[in-house]
């Protein structure tokens, strides 16, 4: 059995195994991001646009009407950044915005048929990559 080196940070001692697990995780995330970017590019999507469409789809599946404010929290982005993302996605024909019946300042977002198709194709192709990452996370 290999000796374990512990390094004290004052609050927590970090073992060699924890460093190895952290390195494995970071490498897996980098591989996932690289492969995701390659697949998304093939479907005409950026990672940011894919995440936006995915968040809208997930919120819609929950019978919620997604807004930029809600998606800002989901995506951990400033509301102005989400507004820009949604504007560009709308211009690309991937989503539509509808004004709330009760508050004219609120815009509900929905995927168009083209947005649904691109999202479905990319998410399907990314399935094996997601599964590899999930398997690794469970093993760590």
Query: How do residues 50-89 score in pLDDT, each as one tens digit?
Result: 999 999 999 987 777 899 999 999 999 999 999 999 999 9
User: Residues 38-49, buried b or exposed e (16+ Cβ, 10 A)?
Assistant: ebbeebebeebb
**Taking Cα atoms as reference points, which of 32, 26, 10 lies closest to residue 18?**
26
Q: Look at the pTM and tell me if it is higher than 0.85.
A: no
Number of domains in the chain: 1
- Residue 15 and residue 5 in contact, taking contact as beta carbons nearer than 8 Å: yes
8 in a domain, yes or no? Answer: no
4 in a domain, yes or no? Answer: no
Percent of the residues in the chain that have a pLDDT greater than 70, as a whole number: 91
102 in a domain, yes or no? Answer: yes
1 in a domain, yes or no? Answer: no
CATH code (residue 133) = 1.10.10.10
> Can you tell me the distance from the alpha carbon of 33 to that of 10, in angstroms, rounded to the nearest whole number?
33
3 in a domain, yes or no? Answer: no
* Residues 6+ away with beta carbon under 8 Å from 107: 67, 68, 97, 98, 99, 100
Label residue 140 by pLDDT band (50, 70, 90). confident
Domain with 78 in it: 14-139
């Amino acid at each position: 059995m290999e000796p374990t080196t512990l390094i004290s940070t004052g609050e927590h001692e970090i073992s060699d195994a924890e460093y190895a697990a952290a390195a494995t995780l970071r490498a897996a995330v980098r591989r996932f991001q690289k492969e995701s970017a390659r697949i998304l590019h093939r479907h005409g999507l950026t990672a940011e646009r894919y995440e936006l469409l995915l968040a809208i789809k997930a919120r819609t599946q929950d019978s919620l009407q997604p807004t930029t404010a809600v998606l800002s929290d989901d995506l951990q982005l400033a509301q102005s950044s989400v507004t820009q993302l949604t504007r560009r996605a709308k211009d690309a024909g991937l989503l539509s915005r509808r004004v709330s019946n009760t508050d004219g300042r609120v815009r509900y977002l929905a995927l168009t048929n083209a947005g649904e198709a691109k999202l479905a194709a990319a998410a399907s192709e990314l399935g094996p990559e997601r599964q590899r990452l999930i398997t690794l996370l469970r093993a760590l």
